[in-house]
Structure 1
Amino acid sequence: MATPMSEPFLIYGTKSLLGERDAWLTALADERQASAHTIAAYERDLRQFMIFLTGFHARPAELADFADLKPQDLRGFLASRRREGAGARTLGRGLSGVRAFLRYLERKGLASSAGAKAMRAPKMAKSLPRPLSAPDAVAVTEEADAMASLPWIGARDIAVLTLLYGCGLRISEALSLPGDALLDPAARSVTIAGKGGKTRLVPLLPVVHEAVADYRRLCPYTLTKDAPLFRGAKGGPLRPQIVQRTMARLRGALGLPSSATPHALRHSFATHLLAAGGDLRTIQDLLGHASLSTTQGYTAVDTGRLLDVYDAAHPRARRRA
């Protein structure tokens, strides 16, 4: 296989190919309700592949190049990305994006995905969730206001972090709550819109109600149902980067490791439930995981408790008196 050109063309795809790409991305948003983050990742991965094809063929990539891709074409792409420093996870995601586009073209009779199906994704080392200890997770949710410049911003930060730990929410789920969310202090649960537009019911602890009520009382902006619940300093939607920055300051103040991120609070929610006797199926529902195998990652974090349960419950594990 020839070596691709080092400087690809500025125009990396023909009009017909770029049109099909745009139609595919639109279908992902409209029909599959993919998130903006997912669509942006797919667009980036496919663009990188089209730039590779452009360099390889010394002309803008075209639909005919996708008609019958061979495994060696994809191996060449992955090798070029690896030379640029991409890791196994990045390479696997890139291959997944190309495969998804090929399946779309195949349904329209414009390409075959056989070559991509025959291509194995790079092996990735399994990374375990890295939760905080229970005392550290509680400290984060109680000390966030110490980092704030204004009382209402401190209350806001406490409310957001309490939702992440107390309900196991993703940061995007917490920040997408409407202004009229959690108004009823007697409500026992809240409906959360998760990935792919899937909804789930998440129980509410009194401490969550209290944190949100404190924020609502101090917030200087009118919180209506057609606007986000959590606001930035100037009244716009609160951005994830602000929450991440707050967590970074808390790490320094509390002496926490670099793994103490906003998402680590969601890991902590799941791990601490499991340690207290929660079953995997229930935790899967609470987290909104599509597959139980994703939730099973938390069992490796809490192996000691699971072995204790096994020793106590299995008939052949019990010692004779």
Structure 2
Amino acid sequence: MSLISPAARDALQGFLEHERALKAASENTVTAYSRDLADFLSFMGAHKGAAQGLGPLKEVGVTDMRAWMAHTRGHGVGARSLARKLSAVKSFYRWLAEREGFDPTAVLSARAPKYQRKLPRPLPEDAAIRMIETMALQSTEPWVQARDVAVLTLLYGCGLRISEALSLTGADLPLGGTLRITGKGGKERVVPLIRPAREAVEAYLALCPYPCERGDPVFRSVRAKPLSARTIQKTMEAARNQLGLPASATPHALRHSFATHLLNAGGDLRAIQELLGHASLSTTQAYTAVDTARLMEVYAASHPRA
């Protein structure tokens, strides 16, 4: 941070507060922005030969951006990570330009390197069901068995993120036909709660030895603390090893499975976008690519002229 001027540091903090307060960015996102932008500002200081105040920052040009991107790639940063860092820089410059009244075109016109987007890796339908069943075999405590089954049933049955499932509290009880979920960026959505998911949670609550008042987490650890995502990840790792499933069989893969299996059954892409809480339809469209990739594999393996 030594090559970041006080004015630039203040601007960075102002931007982070803006993202946290007005954009409802998660702490993980704010931390990533802070790290990426500090690196960018430090580079510009070294590149220009002095800590960059707001004046020089307004004058960052195309060649400066190219130098920063080359420097970043030269330190082993991959194309995907560089694209993320560039996105953070552009967000910062949009905010700064609006605040300070300058033209940020040179920064905003910088193009991210192309990279191959990773496709979601869902489980086949039978594997998803076997995974949920096998989770119940990972503990000798009936309430823990019911807990783990309930969590995975919410992921696969409702398309929740693991963080969303574990954020449920007594205020969400008693369960009805829908769940109101607060997802990334504080965005709310309402998802249908299918009967197997509701019954799985109710079975867990009937066995759980800890009370669940309005402010209490629904899912608890064996020591009555809020259940951590890591606990579910480790238990699922043991279950997938028993089933001979790949390392991609994670809690998030069940959310992918929810979307892919809905799409395969004729689900509308826009509806699936709403159920998943995706801000952009392009994110949801990745599932159509999965379906196409699988179709081409079948084609290559079975077509008589392939």
TM-score scaled by length of structure 1: 0.85
Which blocks of at least 5 consecutive residues in structure 1 are unaligned? Answer: 1-9, 308-321
Instruction: Choose from 2, 9, 18 the match for 1:27.
Output: 18
Residue 283 of structure 1 aligns with which residue?
Answer: 272
Does the C-alpha gap of structure 1 residues 241 and 73 become closer, same or farther in structure 2, counting only changes over 3 Å?
farther
Which amino acid counterpart does residue 226 of structure 1 have in structure 2? G
Does the C-alpha gap of structure 1 residues 252 and 99 become closer, same or farther in structure 2, counting only changes over 3 Å?
same
Does the C-alpha gap of structure 1 residues 61 and 230 become closer, same or farther in structure 2, counting only changes over 3 Å?
farther
Query: How far did residue 120 of structure 1 move?
Result: 0.6
Does the C-alpha gap of structure 1 residues 304 and 41 become closer, same or farther in structure 2, counting only changes over 3 Å?
closer
2:253 maps to 1:264:
yes
Query: How far did residue 264 of structure 1 move?
Result: 0.8
2:174 maps to 1:183:
yes
2:225 maps to 1:198:
no
Residue deviations 1:280-310 (CA, integer Å, cap 9, x gap): 1221111112222222221222239999xxx
Partner secondary structure for residue 131 of structure 1:
coil
2:79 maps to 1:88:
yes
Which blocks of at least 5 consecutive residues in structure 2 are unaligned? Answer: 297-306
**Contact 1:130/1:264 (<8 A) preserved:** yes
Partner secondary structure for residue 201 of structure 1:
strand
**Contact 1:68/1:111 (<8 A) preserved:** no
2:109 maps to 1:118:
yes
Does the C-alpha gap of structure 1 residues 112 and 244 become closer, same or farther in structure 2, counting only changes over 3 Å?
farther
Residue 200 of structure 2 aligns with which residue?
Answer: 211
Residue 237 of structure 2 aligns with which residue?
Answer: 248
Partner secondary structure for residue 136 of structure 2:
helix
**Contact 1:102/1:111 (<8 A) preserved:** no
Q: CA RMSD in A?
A: 2.2
Distance in 2 between the 1:119 and 1:89 partners? Answer: 15
Q: Identity rate of aligned residues, in percent?
A: 47
Query: How far did residue 267 of structure 1 move?
Result: 0.7
Distance in 2 between the 1:291 and 1:225 partners? Answer: 33
Distance in 2 between the 1:70 and 1:135 partners? Answer: 54
Residue 287 of structure 2 aligns with which residue?
Answer: 298
Residue 127 of structure 1 aligns with which residue?
Answer: 118
Does the C-alpha gap of structure 1 residues 29 and 304 become closer, same or farther in structure 2, counting only changes over 3 Å?
closer
Distance in 1 between the 2:3 and 2:146 partners? Answer: 49
Does the C-alpha gap of structure 1 residues 107 and 154 become closer, same or farther in structure 2, counting only changes over 3 Å?
same
Which amino acid counterpart does residue 238 of structure 2 have in structure 1? R
Distance in 2 between the 1:218 and 1:109 partners? Answer: 58
Partner secondary structure for residue 236 of structure 1:
coil
Partner secondary structure for residue 245 of structure 2:
coil
Once the two structures are overlaid, the 10-residue window that deviates more, 157-166 or 142-151, is: 142-151
Residue 54 of structure 1 aligns with which residue?
Answer: 45
Residue deviations 1:48-86 (CA, integer Å, cap 9, x gap): 212322333454443233211112222222222212221
Once the two structures are overlaid, the 10-residue window that deviates more, 243-252 or 158-167, is: 243-252
Residue 237 of structure 1 aligns with which residue?
Answer: 226
Structure 1 runs (4+) deviating above 4 angstroms are: 304-307
Query: How far did residue 202 of structure 1 move?
Result: 0.8
